[in-house]
Amino acid sequence: MAEVIIVRNEEEAGEIYGRCVADLIKAKPDAVLGLATGSSPLAAYRALAKIVHEEHIDVSQVRGFALDEYLGLPLDHPESYHSTIHRTVVEPLGLDPEKVHVPGDVLNGTPLEDGDKIAAAGPAYDAAIEAAGGIDVQILGIGTDGHIGFNEPGSSLASGTRVKTLAEQTRIDNARFFDNDINQVPTHCITQGIGTVLKARHLVLLAFGAGKAEAIEETVEGGVSAFCPASALQLHPHATIIIDEEAASRLRHKDYYRYAFAHKPAWQGI
């Protein structure tokens, strides 16, 4: 099962992720990072940027692939994930923007009705990830309904990158990025599938707050089910779940998770 690390706050979680990825880049300068948007990864990106700058780590060869993108938004829309990834990751870390990719980059606002172009984008994105050698570390957030990326409940656990319809709850949750107006939130997206996510060599899922407690309970201690897409992490050989006390509040075995991490040999890392 996944390793569960319970931390005090987002900053502590960010430091754990930042150290892990910084050490990866030192060992593998052309590392491939899987990138996520949303609020959960922000402290992790800040921590990584701080380490990169303080330790003068060369990131010029680092590659990146984002999890998902809204359909119907132009690339320069401030809430497109193309813009968000460049604002929160590429610029703070000093990555080469030509080496960082988002599933909707080739679409750039293509309407949903252009089925041929949109349908081809998913398989092309998976092929690009494979051509880069696969993702070394994929950072993940989790929705209140257990979705990862935009893989809503019911998504195939073997799915590749494809077009999905966003659940109403996801659009409600994301309205905060669109002036709290759900009508501005797109109804469709292109997202890496669960099968694509599971191909990454290391998965790091971050979750904070009581609102994520039920989803974390289902992910960590529930059965593996398409109705909690994040539960697929139980099938991965190297998955790390970093959560605060509130997100961990419904876990039955949280005392063991604390004990195991406290007694983990330092050389193992995460």
238-to-105, 137, 212, 235 alpha-carbon distances in Å: 29, 10, 22, 9
- What is the pLDDT confidence band of residue 109, given thresholds at 50, 70 and 90? confident
Question: Residue 110: is its pLDDT beyond 90?
Answer: no
Identify which of 114-128, 143-157, 170-184, 230-244 has the greatest average pLDDT: 230-244
Catalytic residue among 68, 126, 218, 244: 68
Q: How far apart are CA 92 and CA 48, in angstroms?
A: 9
Catalytic residue among 10, 69, 126, 152: 152
Catalytic residue among 10, 69, 126, 145: 145
- pLDDT the model gives residue 170: 82
The yes-or-no answer on residue 238 being catalytic is no
Instruction: Provide the β-strand partners of residue 165.
Output: 188
Question: Residue 259: is its pLDDT beyond 90?
Answer: yes
- Tokens 């599971």 correspond to 198
Q: What is the largest CA-CA distance in the chain?
A: 55
Q: How far apart are CA 67 and CA 141, in angstroms?
A: 10
The yes-or-no answer on residue 145 being catalytic is yes
Catalytic residue among 82, 86, 101, 147: 147
Instruction: For residue range 43-93, list pLDDT tens digits in order.
Output: 999 999 999 999 999 999 999 999 999 998 999 999 999 999 999 999 999
- Looking up residue 199, the CATH number of its domain turns out to be 3.40.50.1360
The yes-or-no answer on residue 152 being catalytic is yes
Q: What is this structure's pTM?
A: 0.95
Q: Which residues are CB-contacts of 235 (< 8 A; sequence separation ≥ 6)?
A: 157, 198, 224
Give the range of the structural domain holding residue 29, as residue numbers without chain letter.
Answer: 3-268
> How many domains are contained in the chain?
1
The yes-or-no answer on residue 147 being catalytic is yes
Q: How many CB atoms lie within 10 A of CB 91?
A: 12
